[in-house]
Amino acid sequence: MDKKISNFLYFIVCYVFFIYVNISLSNFIVYHIKDGYRFTSNVISLHYVKNTGAAFSILQDSREILIILSVIALVLLFLYALKHIKSISMKSLFFIALLSAGIAGNLHERISLGYVRDFFEFSFVNNFPVFNVSDIFINIGVIALIILILLKKTR
């Protein structure tokens, strides 16, 4: 199979898989929290919050702006991946798909619910923002891509 086609299929399969995991896991956790399930440990606890802004409470009640920024970010990520599909590494495609799925997960909730459902809270950090699966995907994707870029630059 042509490298361009196989890389594209790999990217799409990763993206769809991450979207599925994101939405399914978020729905599962929120359903159980709302049904009365509680979990608390020394590291993390579950605490349901409706977030109308972005990370660290920036842009509160700016749904339209956050939707537009999310769509722009997704378009740019997909255009970059498609433009470089032949030369981009599988690791990079994996993390671009993870990052894109995180952005898309928050976008989906902002459009369908009007807010993002956050539920993970670090027990050992005071006033750290509550976050969700999408936020985890976004942070892992960004950090991994930065590391891959830095490692490529040092060669």
Closest by CA to 54, choosing from 1, 110, 3, is 110
Check if 61 is active-site: no
Q: Residue-wise over 76-113: b if at least 16 C-beta within 10 A, else e?
A: ebeeebeeebeebeeebbbbbbbbbbbbbbbbbbbeee
Check if 135 is active-site: yes
54's tokens: 């972005």
Residue tagged active-site, from 2, 35, 61, 135 = 135
Q: Taking the mean position of all CA atoms in its chain, how far away is CA 108?
A: 11
* Residue 60 identity: Q
Torsion sign (Cα): 5, 148, 23, 50: negative
Please count the other Cβ atoms lying within 10 Å of the Cβ belonging to residue 75: 10
Which residues are designated catalytic? 118, 135
